[in-house]
């Protein structure tokens, strides 16, 4: 039996069957762009202010944190995992960072980012250790840490909240200022997207994520350190969620124990809609970023189009089901193509 990793446009694969899947993946990205443009155009036709400078800026700010968390989630999903604790990690990082800044108002923004990264990486290490060493399924493990980390936030906060007036002005300005019309927050998120894309496509550790998700057994036989790569994936996901907490505190100013509640569902939706296979081994961070931007545009556009809140949620759900169905269809087609190719070779 020959084990072949599922081909992607970011992972090294054999050429067998790659043309079909690469074409589908490119079409997925093109489809997201077309849907994005169509949604913006339709909404602008109803209300031209939707494409005003302020509206676009608000959309970008709204998408920045989701994009950041979607990048981390992508790395985990590529390994056939999932991290449902990202919202709680964001909340913990946001509150601890805001509390630190109100006590130390002279702290530079980069130091605050490093603090958030450290908090998130620690949480991610806990997730990875429970999953790898404890042999607990990722869904169950991160569902548990979702509540554990949220409980820690409530314990630390003690029912209080931190207001914008308690934090340094420079830190709050970072959350709203822009350069060349582009908010700092979206610049940070795009830099992370590019760096993660390079890591996954150019470095062995990143390419191993695809191999691990495509076939864990084959990856181990190939000598890939599966445990180390799994821990790396969850630490990266946690670190980016922690950085997202810093951006959340900078953007909104007011932080309480509920920060980030329920955000994990939006992040998973963005990743799946963006073309990252929920079964692992296929997808890119660039697609996940497009998915996050599309969902943000939808959430802002549908109220302008007078669409009921129920239908907003139903549309997002339909997009998720459609994306999963498409991934399954592609997987079956590629498997059939590989079998036909092997039969011709034999």
**pLDDT above 80 for 330:** no
What's the rounded mean pLDDT across residues 148-159? 92
**pLDDT above 80 for 149:** yes
Give dist(CA 230, CA 234) in Å, integer: 6
Whether 13 is in a domain gets the answer no
Whether 141 is in a domain gets the answer yes
Q: How confident is the model at residue 341 (pLDDT cuts 50, 70, 90)?
A: low
**pLDDT above 50 for 6:** no
Q: Is beta strand 178-179 parallel, antiparallel or unpaired with respect to 182-183?
A: antiparallel
Whether 237 is in a domain gets the answer yes
The per-residue pLDDT for range 56-70, each reduced to its tens digit, is: 888 888 899 999 999
Does residue 20 or residue 260 have the better pLDDT? 260
Q: Estimate the crossing angle of helix 18-46 against helix 309-345, to 10 degrees.
A: 160
Residue 201's CATH number: 1.10.3470
Long-range contacts at 3-7 (CB < 8 A, ≥ 24 apart): 3/215, 3/217, 3/218, 3/221, 4/214, 4/215, 4/338, 5/210, 5/211, 5/214, 5/215, 5/218, 5/281, 6/210, 6/213, 6/214, 6/277, 6/281, 6/282, 6/331, 6/334, 7/282, 7/334
Question: Is the pTM higher than 0.95?
Answer: no
The per-residue pLDDT for range 93-128, each reduced to its tens digit, is: 999 999 999 998 889 999 999 999 999 999 999 999
Of the chain, the percentage scoring pLDDT greater than 90 comes to 45
Does residue 58 or residue 17 have the better pLDDT? 58
Instruction: Give the per-residue pLDDT at 343.
Output: 60
Q: How confident is the model at residue 327 (pLDDT cuts 50, 70, 90)?
A: low
Whether 274 is in a domain gets the answer yes
Whether 127 is in a domain gets the answer yes
- For the ranges 76-90, 140-154, 223-237, 291-305, which has the lowest average pLDDT? 291-305
Instruction: Give the per-residue pLDDT at 16.
Output: 41
Instruction: Give the per-residue pLDDT at 22.
Output: 55
The per-residue pLDDT for range 204-221, each reduced to its tens digit, is: 999 999 999 888 888 888
271: left (phi over 0), alpha (psi -120 to 50) or beta: alpha
Instruction: Quote the number of domains for the chain.
Output: 1
Average pLDDT score, the chain: 85
Q: How confident is the model at residue 17 (pLDDT cuts 50, 70, 90)?
A: very low
Rounded to the nearest 10°, the torsion over CA 51, 57, 58, 64 is: 130
Range of the domain at 314: 18-339
**Best mean pLDDT range from 157-166, 190-199, 264-273, 303-312:** 190-199
Of the chain, the percentage scoring pLDDT greater than 70 comes to 86
**pLDDT above 50 for 44:** yes
Whether 178 is in a domain gets the answer yes
Whether 305 is in a domain gets the answer yes
What's the rounded mean pLDDT across residues 32-49? 85
Whether 246 is in a domain gets the answer yes
Count of residues in the chain? 346
């Amino acid at each position: 039996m020959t084990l072949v990793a599922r081909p992607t446009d970011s992972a090294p694969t054999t050429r067998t069957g790659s043309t079909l899947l690469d074409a589908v993946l490119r079409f997925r990205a093109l489809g997201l762009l077309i849907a994005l443009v169509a949604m913006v155009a339709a909404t602008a036709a109803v209300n031209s202010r939707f494409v005003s400078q302020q509206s676009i800026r608000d959309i970008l700010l709204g998408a920045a944190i989701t994009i950041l968390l979607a990048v981390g989630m992508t790395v985990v999903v590529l390994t056939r995992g999932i991290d449902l604790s990202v919202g709680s990690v964001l909340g913990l990082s946001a509150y601890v960072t805001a509390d630190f800044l109100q006590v130390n108002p002279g702290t530079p923004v980069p130091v605050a980012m490093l603090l958030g990264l450290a908090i998130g990486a620690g949480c991610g290490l806990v997730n990875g250790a429970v999953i790898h060493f404890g042999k607990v399924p990722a869904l169950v493990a991160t569902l548990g840490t979702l509540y554990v980390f949220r409980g820690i936030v409530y314990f630390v906060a003690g029912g209080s909240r931190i207001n914008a007036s308690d934090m340094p002005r420079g830190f709050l300005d970072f959350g709203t200022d822009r350069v060349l019309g582009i908010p700092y927050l979206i610049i940070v998120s795009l830099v992370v997207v590019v760096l993660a894309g390079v890591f996954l496509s150019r470095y062995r550790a990143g390419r191993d994520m695809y191999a691990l998700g495509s076939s864990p057994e084959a990856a181990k036989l190939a000598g890939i350190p599966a445990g180390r790569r799994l821990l790396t994936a969850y630490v990266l996901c946690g670190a980016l969620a922690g950085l997202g907490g810093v951006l959340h505190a900078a953007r909104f100013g007011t932080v309480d124990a509920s920060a980030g509640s329920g955000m994990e569902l939006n992040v998973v939706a963005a990743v799946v809609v963006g073309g990252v296979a929920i079964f692992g081994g296929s997808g890119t961070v660039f697609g996940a970023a497009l998915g996050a931007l599309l969902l943000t545009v939808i959430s802002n556009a549908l109220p302008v189009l007078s669409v009921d809140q129920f239908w907003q949620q139903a549309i997002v759900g339909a997009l998720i089901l459609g994306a999963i169905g498409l991934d399954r269809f592609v997987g079956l087609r590629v498997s059939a193509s590989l079998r036909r190719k092997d039969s011709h070779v034999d």
